[in-house]
Chains A and B, each alone.
Chain A
Amino acid sequence: MSHTEQDKHSHYADTAPGDESLDGYEAAEDVGTYLIGLGLATLLTLVSFFISRTTLVWEPSIPVALAVLAIAQMGVHLVFFLHITTGPDNVNNVLALAFGVLIVLLVIVGSLWIMAHMNHNMMPMDQIMQMQS
């Protein structure tokens, strides 16, 4: 692809999320993208299910491994199924995604953090019962 042609594709127009960015459109190539995505997602799912029941790895590491595998699989879905890329025609989509991820992290981590502290600071139930009687 010559430089000017690449310029035409990547510089002016944005790409809708879910669309391939190239408009020189090849259906077979697109099927290949979905197949790669399906293969990677299947692999990550199988590893997740295997890890959750295995005794091969150190037990406290299992939830961390599961979280990492899930995030990796979400990335695979975003790239190969939703076609969210780092290309210049995808900046708007990526920025919106980044904002969404920020809010999701704030809600989940913030809730867990605050509720763990409240649980920690709460008086045990039997003591509350004693005070009431």
Chain B
Amino acid sequence: MSAFDAAVGQEVSNRLERAQGHIARHAAGALASKRIIAGYGFWIFLLSDIVMFSAFFAAYAVLVDATAGGPSGQSLFNLGNVGIETTCLLLSSFTCGLASIGARTHNGFWFYGAMAATFILGATFVGIEIREFTGMIALGAGPTRSAFLSAFFTLVGCHGLHVTIGLLWLLTMMAQVFAKGYRADILRRLLCFSLFWHALDIIWVGLFTMVYLMGVAQ
């Protein structure tokens, strides 16, 4: 056997060894932790929720001019209110992030404080939205007035419903951390909750742009 053959043989066996090591490490990594599986599964759910919202967005965009002689968005929308709502939701997204940091560092002051702030901001958002809805209905611009208003109440109301459910979930998570501590399964639920809350803010970005800002700019 020549020196060249020996060198090639050595190189081949070296590569084989490295490849085997690589595969072994991958096999070990293939068992994802429960936190990753839960987070990923919830991420898939959130994306399907966003797909559902896209159908409501599409319906709104198609029906936005179908006012049937009734009021249009330009006369109904109050951008001052929308600005406050947007500020509330954006700040609550931030405080929700702080709460997840507090939970990971097991810091009760940060966790409960940030969760309480998130709840107050979220509840303010829902309160302003309910006031807006009842004001519109009192003006005779309820969901039955025109196709535009049906689509408006469905889209914005569905988002408001999500925020309301999120608020209930938030209180549940505070109670669970209080009763059971920062256990791994509780932290997984908390991860899903913060994903949910951040996703609601993303939907609100699309909503205030397409419904309110474009409605007023027309």
- List A residues at the B interface (Cβ < 8 Å): 11-19, 25, 27, 30-31, 34-35, 37-38, 41-42, 45, 48-49, 51-53, 62-63, 66-67, 69-70, 73-74, 77-78, 81-82, 92-93, 96-97, 99-100, 103-104, 107-108, 110-112, 115
Contact = CB atoms under 8 A, between A and B. Distances in A.
B178 interface: no
Contacts of A78: 202
B127 interface: no
Contacts of B57: 108
A93 B213 contact: no
B216 interface: yes
B94 A19 contact: no
Given A92-B40, A96-B43, A97-B43, 18 more contacts: A16-B39, A18-B191, A27-B104, A34-B94, A38-B93, A45-B86, A53-B216, A70-B209, A77-B198, A77-B202, A81-B201, A96-B40, A100-B47, A104-B50, A104-B51, A107-B51, A108-B61, A115-B62
A42 B79 contact: no
Interface residues of B, number: 54
B205 A74 contact: yes
Contacts of B55: 107
Contact of B94 (A37, A99, A108): A37
B50 to A, nearest CB: 6
A12 B33 CA distance: 12
Contact of A107 (B47, B58, B90, B209): B58
A11 B29 CA distance: 9
B214 interface: yes
Interface string B162-206: 000000000000000000000000000001001100110110011
Interface stretch (B1-9, B12-20, B95-103, B130-138): B95-103
A67 B26 CA distance: 42
A90 B128 CA distance: 37
A41 B25 CA distance: 40
Given A14-B40, A18-B198, A96-B43, A52 B93 contact: no
Nearest to B83: A49
Given A16-B35, A63-B214, A111-B59, A38 B191 contact: no
A84 to B, nearest CB: 9
Contacts of A67: 209
Interface string B63-86: 000000000000000010001001
Nearest to A31: B101
B62 A111 contact: yes
A100 B26 CA distance: 28
Contact of A66 (B39, B191, B214): B214
A107 to B, nearest CB: 5
Contact of A41 (B90, B191, B206): B90
A61 B154 CA distance: 28
B213 A16 contact: no
Interface in B28-63: 28-29, 32-33, 35-36, 38-40, 42-44, 47-48, 50-51, 54-55, 57-59, 61-62
B39 A73 contact: no
Nearest to A18: B195
